[in-house]
Structure 1
Amino acid sequence: MDFEHYFDWAATAPSDEKILRESLEIALQYDGNPSATHKIGASARKILEEARESCAKTLGVSKNQVIFTSGGTESDHIPLLSILNSPKKGRIILSAIEHPALREECAMLKKQGFEVVSVNPDKNGFVTADSILENLTPDTLFVTVMAVNNETGCVQPVCEIADAITKWANGKKKPHFHVDCVQAAGKIPLDLSHKGIDSAALSAHKISGPRGIGILYLSKPVNSFLVGGGQEQNIRSGTENLFGAVAFAKCLEKFFIKKNVLRPSQIIQISNKNFGSLSEMEMVIEKERHAFNRFEKQKEWTVDFLKKLKSLEKCRLVPALREDFSEDAQSHFSPWVVQAAFLGIPGNVMVRALDAKGFCISTGSACSAKKQSRPILAAMNASREIQDSAVRFSFGPATTKKAMDELFEAVKDIVSEF
């Protein structure tokens, strides 16, 4: 397929064909069940654990903190549903901008007798630490705030929230703090090891990996409500997806963006105890630098795209803070996601009009595409007109500046026709 004019990367990223083919070749060589005790099973287990070790090394966490799952939704569900093992039903706090995987599951838990409190963001889509603190109670069991919103691109202050919750607990048992990092891993600099973040969800298909494989980061084990064969430290039972695990490890190695990227001159100063050789370490660091440099380039391209959109009379960037093109303001957003409303043009009409011209965009989350409501924009107190006309443009590592320029020209033509 030709993905040159594909701008729905937030829904799913085009597959990295080289990585998927290499991973499938490996999986075909080790076709045993990784949990079997015979030699063929043990060989598959070795490959699985090497993939886990690779993921952990890239993410900057311990190997035993990486749990393979079926995707982002399950990685969200496991820690949330673990509260069903709590002796008493208490409070769940979630931001009103969460993905349906959490929002809808919390609604189900409310029916089971848990108190669910939804915290609205401010008008620009940000959930503050103070707004979470205001809703914490001694019986609060679980708090969840996503790292990057999948519709607005707002980067949430999850580290500040983690610190605030930890300080509030004051040494006593604190609520479990979960972060949905599906739109953050491989998109923005990320540090999962920040103290106070108890769990995080990641999904491979958002960074050009296969569908059906995710990672649940756990700072320490949880008492999983769903049990079975005991795989994945008895946290996620089910036969392991060897192909998916290998592919996810390779995608993370290629696309993950670390907060601190080393300069070539620093390489020799690092202990290479976790690498087979200095050349291997240099190769890994070069991949890290490439991912970071691509991220920096996307920031420039996205600001240029935003400025062009803003020049259209009918366009309103969402949220309004996105209209501030300063580096400080834009640092609060993922450069891979842009939301804009074109007054007088329903969002689904813009999607179809661009599709007819060969451009793929969306109105928001693919998981909610068939629903007419826009709960995230409603939580931001956006007007009905903005909610009805907002669309999402999302980009990825293979996106080119030329394609983004052509996207704008197509949007401009459609706007001029209304």
Structure 2
Amino acid sequence: MIYLDYAATSPMTEAAIDVYSQMAKKVYGNTSSLHDAGGKAHVLLEEARAIVADKMGVNRDGVVFTGSGTEGNILAILSLARGGKGKHIITSAAEHTSVHAAMNTLEREGFEITKLSFTRDGVIDLAELSRAIRKDTVLISIQHVNSEIGSIQPVKDIANIANEQGIPYHVDCVQSFCKLDISQFSHKVDSITVSAHKIGGPKGCGAIYINPHRRIVPVFPGVTHEKGIRGGTVDTPAIVAMATAVEQYAYHLDKHWRLRKQLKEVIRDSSVEWIESHDAQQFPSICGLCIPRVEGQYVMLSLNEENICISTGSACDINSASGTKAILAMGNSISKARQFFRISFGEGTTEQHIERVAVHLKKLALI
């Protein structure tokens, strides 16, 4: 099998699997228990928190472990928005489904949501963001790397605008964590979401950072675990395995650019279209593509028959009939959005994999 869907999830590393297994067998105490078994689990939990916080470049006091990136986005956005004094939020039209889910919830509570479109380069317009800010704007939530086309949003510039206006800024860094250096802007933002399974850690584990100095209203008032933000007995084995993945994960930027350029070269003379940004604003591992008159679902199923795994966009949007959000946010038609498919690389991707998928893409482009 050739797996080219790393933006959806990645295989657990052997080190993470081993740590998870050993922790599950030997460290099963509740981290909130006062006996020695609980104390041992608590120490390991806090060590893992320090590792994740260091990689994020934030104060460990603001790091909360969650059950996923989806849960993290929802908890962070709802907690920050409800803690503000206004009823207006700014986001983009191409955020992850979980961000839109949080916005839909807030909209039902009387919040007004402004969704910024993308330029033809797949990024927001900073001038449009500035114009959208109002006196009652209580939160900005705009991602770092788009999960569908891999465009990189100007997070530092967005943070500067938010800070000038005193508005909390939440960033979904699920696709970029441990791959791009988010510590370059983490000290300027108020909330960050990350996930373990994109970097070789376990599924069902993630983390958020919320600035300890920001007022929040917890989604579940009265819970006691994880600083009162996320209730439930902490999954210590998964969290320590996540920290192991964070320490060991190595993203080789040059390799992924080389694979991207190889794919471009091999299919250059075909009708396959690239949906992308400029190199300076492009994450190389995520390739957004279209074949005119061929639906992305058909491309995905055809490649699956050849034992090649790709996707038609975010796995969390797989049941959507309207196509991918990023394509629509860039001003494309629903018809073109339905032609979209995504190839995403990981550490296991080779030049031979690229050659093989390219052969089949060129065949599909002749339909």
| Equivalent AA in structure 2 for residue 404 of structure 1 | I
Distance 1:91 1:103, change over 3 A: same
| Correspondence for 2:54 among 54, 57, 62 | 57
**TM-score, normalised with respect to structure 2:** 0.94
Partner of 2:220: 226
Q: Is the alpha carbon distance of 1:57 and 1:194 closer, same or farther for their aligned partners in structure 2, counting shifts above 3 Å?
A: closer
> Counterpart of 2:346?
396
Q: Please report the RMSD computed on the Cα atoms of aligned residues, expressed in angstroms.
A: 1.7
Number of residue pairs matched? 364
Q: Are 2:266 and 1:317 equivalent residues in the alignment?
A: no
1:365 corresponds in structure 2 to 314
Picking from 43, 46, 52, the partner of 1:46 is 43
Q: How does 1:319-398 map to 2 (within 5 A)?
A: 319=276, 321=277, 329-374=278-323, 375-398=325-348
Q: Is the 8 A contact 2:291 2:340 kept in 1?
A: yes
Q: Is the 8 A contact 1:165 1:196 kept in 2?
A: no
Contact 2:287 2:342 in 1 (8 A): yes
Greater relative contact order (CA < 8 Å, ≥ 6 in sequence): 2
C-alpha separation in 1, matches of 2:123 and 2:186: 20
Q: Distance in 2 between matches of 1:58 and 1:86?
A: 27
Mapped to 1, the partners of 2:329 and 2:88 lie a distance apart of: 20
Deviations 1:308-353 (A, max 9, x none): 23321x211114x4xxxxxxx3121111100110012111111111
Check whether the contact 1:163–1:195 (CA below 8 A) recurs between aligned residues. no
**Distance (whole Å) between structure 2 residues aligned to residue 253 and residue 405 of structure 1:** 32
Q: Tell me, what secondary structure is at the counterpart of 1:94? A: strand
| Alpha-carbon distance, 1:192 to partner | 6.2
User: Hey, what's the Cα distance between the residues in 1 that align with 2:239 and 2:115?
Assistant: 34
Partners of 2:299 and 2:202 lie apart in 1 by 29
The AA in structure 2 aligned to 1:231 is H
Contact 2:58 2:187 survives alignment (8 Å): no
Tell me what 1:258 maps to: none
For residues 87 and 17 of structure 1, what CA distance do their matches in structure 2 show?
43
Q: Is the 8 A contact 1:89 1:113 kept in 2?
A: no
**What's the CA shift string for 1:95-150, capped at 9, x where partnerless?**
11101101122122112111111111112210132221111111111110000000
Matched, 1:137 2:134: yes
Once the two structures are superposed, what CA deviation does each residue of 1:76-112 show, in whole Å capped at 9, x if it has no partner? 1122112464475510111111011011221221121
Q: Give 3-state SS (helix, strand or coil) of 2:331's partner.
A: coil
- Corresponding residue for residue 168 of structure 2: 176
User: Are the aligned partners of 1:227 and 1:236 in contact in 2 as well (CA < 8 Å)?
Assistant: no
Deviation at 1:176, TM superposition (A): 1.4
Number of the residue aligned with 2:204: 212
Identity of aligned residues (%): 29
What letter matches 1:379 in structure 2? A
SS of 2:132's equivalent in the other structure is coil
The SS at the match of 2:106 is helix
Per-residue CA shift, 1:48-92, capped at 9, x if unaligned? 111112222233322212211111112111221124644755101
SS in 2 for 1:338: strand
TM-score, with structure 1 as normaliser: 0.83
In structure 2, what is the equivalent of residue 303 of structure 1? 261
Q: How far did 1:407 drift?
A: 1.2
Q: The residue matched to 1:367 in structure 2 has which SS?
A: helix
Structure 1 residue aligned with 2:357: 407
Unmatched segments (≥5 aa) in structure 2 = none
